[in-house]
C-alpha cells in the first residue's frame, strides 16, 4: 500500500487498487517476527520463505542485539537476498522481524521496503505492516502541515509519525494512541529496545498468529511459517489485541480497543493463504475442498472431467469431483519457472504469459466435456485465455466454475485489486461474463455457500462473520481517503451489461 507524491485531492492512482496488469487478486505482504532466539534473523528468513506467496517483489529483515538495530532490505525473493551466511551475519541479535511485499504503481523502490525504521525519542522503532490504512492520506496531510518529513510513500510511515508526535509518556501508550487515529486493516510487528509488539486491527481483517519454539516467541501471517521454523502454534493474535513481549521473555496481552465483532478477510480461505495453513481454526485445504463441494451442489455440470486451473483451483476441483462423481484430472499443467507478467519487456510477451504459465494436457482433454475450476475471476482476461486454450486442445465443451462469489467491488484493506470499473463482475451479469470468456456455462459459488464451506450456517446480513466486501460491497470500516464523491459511487448500483 502506498501514498503518492505529491498529495492530491481524492484517491491517488497508487492507492487505487489495480496498479498492475495482473488478472489475479494479490495479497500485499506477509510479516514474521521472533524474539528470544540466538539465530533470530536466520529464523525470520526461513519464515519469510514460507510466506513468499504473499509478496514476491521485495523483502526486508531488521534485527536488534540489545544495543543497535540492523536492517537489510532488497528487491526480489527471500532466497535471492537471504540465502547466504554473510547476509544473515549482517543481522545479529536475539530479536528480528521481516516482511515480504508486493508493490503497486508508484510504490516500488527500496525506500518503501519494510520493515521501516526510525529513531524516536524513546529509541529505535522498527515496524512491519500487512494491510492498508484507509485514512493515510488524510493523516499524512495533517502531519506534513505540522512539520513531519516523510522518507517513503508507504502508509505504514504514517504510524511512525503518529507515535513520534504522541504526547503520552510511555512507548506502548504512544503506539496505542497512534492506532486509535488510523482506520482500515493492519497486522503489525513492531520492535523497540524494550521488546516486540504484535497486533491486529480491531476487526481482525488481516491475519496474525503466535507460536513458540523453546523460549522464543514467534509471530507470523500464517501458521505454515510456524511449521517451517519448527515453532508450535499457540493461538491467533485476537482482533484488536496487542501482544507485548519484553526482552526477558515476559508476555503481556492488551485489549485497548474494546470488544468489536471480528470481520477477518474471507478471501484468506479462498486464495491468499497457503492450503497447508490453519486460518480461524480451519484447515485452508479442507475449506477449499468444501467450497468445491458447494459448487457441485449448487451448479452441477454434465461433463467428463473436472480440471483445476493450477495451483489455486486444485483443492476446490477435488471437492467438486468428489461431490459430483466426475473424475478429477490435471488437464492443465503449470510451469513454476515463469516470471511475473508485468516485468516482461513487450506487450507480445505479456499476452503470451498465460500459455507460458499453463499448458493444456491435450491427451486428456481432447474430445472431452470439461469443468474448469478456478478461485476467482477479476478482469476475466485470464479466464478467457484458459477457456480458449482448452478449446484449442480439443475440448468439446468448457464449463467454468468459480470457487468464490463474483468479485464486484475493490478491496481497500491490503489486497491489490483493480478499480471497480475494471472488475468484470461489476460490469456484467453472470450470463454476460460467460459469453465474454467464451464458456459453455459459468457459475460461481453463492455467498451463503461460501459461508457454509467455512463452517457458518449462512451469511448473516446484519452482522456478517467475515469481511466479504469484495463480493458484497459491505465495507466494515469507513474509507476516509476515498472522499465523499467516491463513497457515493460505492453505494450506487452498477448498470449491468446485457
Report how far residue 201's alpha carbon sits from residue 178's, in angstroms, rounded to the nearest whole number: 12
* Under 8 Å between Cβ of 289 and 318: yes
Give the helix/strand (H/E) hosting 430. Answer: helix 430-436
Which of 163, 80, 100 lies closest to 126, judged by CA? 163
Q: In degrees, to the nearest 5, what angle opens at C-alpha 250 toward C-alphas 244 and 252?
A: 40
**Residue count (the chain):** 498
Q: 29, 199, 467, 470: which one is catalytic?
A: 29
Report how far residue 248's alpha carbon sits from residue 14's, in angstroms, rounded to the nearest whole number: 41
Contacts of residue 301, Cβ cutoff 8 Å, sequence gap at least 6: 324, 326, 369, 371, 399, 401, 441
Q: The C-alpha cell of 260 is what? A: 468489536
Report how far residue 236's alpha carbon sits from residue 253's, in angstroms, rounded to the nearest whole number: 12
* Under 8 Å between Cβ of 426 and 433: no
CA distances (Å), origin 209, targets 90, 223, 263, 453:
27, 7, 16, 22
Catalytic site includes residue 29 = yes
Q: The C-alpha cell of 262 is what? A: 471480528
Peptide bond into 311 cis (omega under 30): yes
* Under 8 Å between Cβ of 89 and 136: no
Q: Half-sphere exposure of 384 toward its Cβ, with a 13 Å CA cutoff? A: 13
Report how far residue 348's alpha carbon sits from residue 350's, in angstroms, rounded to the nearest whole number: 5
Query: Rounded to a whole number, what is the distance in angstroms from the first to the last CA of the chain?
Result: 35
Peptide bond into 115 cis (omega under 30): yes
CA distances (Å), origin 195, targets 128, 226, 233, 257:
14, 20, 21, 22
* Under 8 Å between Cβ of 477 and 260: no
Cα–chain-centroid distance for residue 91? 27
Q: The C-alpha cell of 200 is what? A: 491486529
Q: Give catalytic residue positions.
A: 29
Amino acid at each position: 500500500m502506498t501514498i503518492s507524491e505529491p498529495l492530491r485531492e481524492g484517491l491517488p492512482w497508487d492507492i487505487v487498487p489495480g496498479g498492475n496488469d495482473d488478472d489475479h487478486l494479490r495479497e500485499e505482504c506477509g510479516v514474521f517476527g521472533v524474539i528470544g532466539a540466538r539465530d533470530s534473523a536466520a529464523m525470520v528468513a526461513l519464515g519469510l520463505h514460507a510466506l513468499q506467496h504473499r509478496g514476491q517483489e521485495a523483502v526486508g529483515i531488521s534485527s536488534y542485539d540489545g544495543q543497535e538495530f540492523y536492517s537489510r532490505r532488497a528487491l526480489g525473493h527471500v532466497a535471492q537476498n537471504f540465502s547466504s551466511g554473510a547476509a544473515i551475519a549482517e543481522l545479529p541479535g536475539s530479536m528480528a522481524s521481516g516482511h515480504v511485499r508486493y508493490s503497486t504503481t508508484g510504490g516500488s523502490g527500496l525506500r518503501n521496503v519494510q520493515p521501516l525504521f526510525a529513531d524516536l525519542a524513546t529509541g529505535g522503532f522498527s515496524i512491519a505492516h500487512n494491510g492498508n490504512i484507509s485514512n493515510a492520506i488524510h493523516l499524512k496531510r495533517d502531519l506534513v502541515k505540522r512539520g513531519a518529513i516523510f522518507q517513503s510513500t508507504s502508509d505504514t510511515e504514517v504510524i511512525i509519525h503518529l507515535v513520534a508526535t504522541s504526547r503520552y509518556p510511555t512507548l506502548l501508550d504512544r503506539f496505542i494512541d497512534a492506532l486509535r487515529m488510523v482506520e482500515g486493516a493492519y497486522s503489525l510487528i513492531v520492535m523497540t529496545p524494550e521488546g516486540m509488539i504484535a497486533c491486529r486491527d480491531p476487526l481482525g481483517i488481516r491475519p496474525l498468529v503466535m507460536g513458540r519454539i523453546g523460549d522464543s516467541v514467534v509471530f507470523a501471517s500464517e501458521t505454515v511459517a510456524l511449521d517451517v521454523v519448527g515453532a508450535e502454534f499457540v493461538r491467533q493474535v485476537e482482533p484488536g489485541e496487542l501482544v507485548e513481549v519484553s526482552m526477558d521473555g515476559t508476555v503481556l496481552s492488551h485489549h485497548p480497543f474494546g470488544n468489536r465483532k471480528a470481520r477477518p478477510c474471507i478471501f484468506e480461505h479462498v486464495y491468499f493463504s497457503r492450503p497447508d495453513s490453519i486460518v480461524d481454526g480451519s484447515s485452508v485445504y479442507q475449506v477449499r475442498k468444501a467450497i468445491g463441494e458447494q459448487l457441485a451442489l449448487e451448479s452441477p455440470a454434465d461433463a467428463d472431467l473436472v480440471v483445476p486451473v493450477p495451483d489455486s483451483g486444485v483443492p476446490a476441483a477435488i471437492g467438486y469431483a468428489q461431490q459430483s462423481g466426475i473424475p478429477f484430472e490435471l488437464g492443465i499443467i503449470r510451469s513454476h519457472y515463469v516470471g511475473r507478467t508485468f516485468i516482461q519487456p513487450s506487450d507480445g510477451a505479456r499476452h503470451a504469459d498465460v500459455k507460458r504459465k499453463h499448458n493444456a494436457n491435450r491427451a486428456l482433454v481432447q474430445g472431452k466435456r470439461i469443468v474448469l475450476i478456478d478461485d476467482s475471476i477479476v478482469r476475466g482476461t485470464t479466464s478467457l485465455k484458459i477457456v480458449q486454450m482448452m478449446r484449442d486442445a480439443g475440448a468439446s465443451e468448457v464449463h467454468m466454475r468459480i470457487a468464490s462469489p463474483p468479485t464486484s467491488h475493490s478491496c481497500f484493506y491490503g489486497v491489490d485489486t483493480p478499480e471497480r470499473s475494471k472488475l468484470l463482475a461489476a460490469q456484467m451479469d453472470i450470463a454476460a461474463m460467460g459469453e465474454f470468456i467464451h464458456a459453455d456455462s459459468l457459475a460461481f459459488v453463492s455467498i451463503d455457500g461460501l459461508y457454509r464451506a467455512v463452517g457458518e450456517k449462512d451469511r448473516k446480513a446484519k452482522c456478517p462473520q467475515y469481511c466479504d466486501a469484495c463480493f458484497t460491497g459491505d465495507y466494515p470500516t469507513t474509507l476516509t481517503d476515498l472522499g465523499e464523491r467516491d463513497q457515493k459511487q460505492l453505494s450506487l448500483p452498477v448498470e449491468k451489461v446485457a
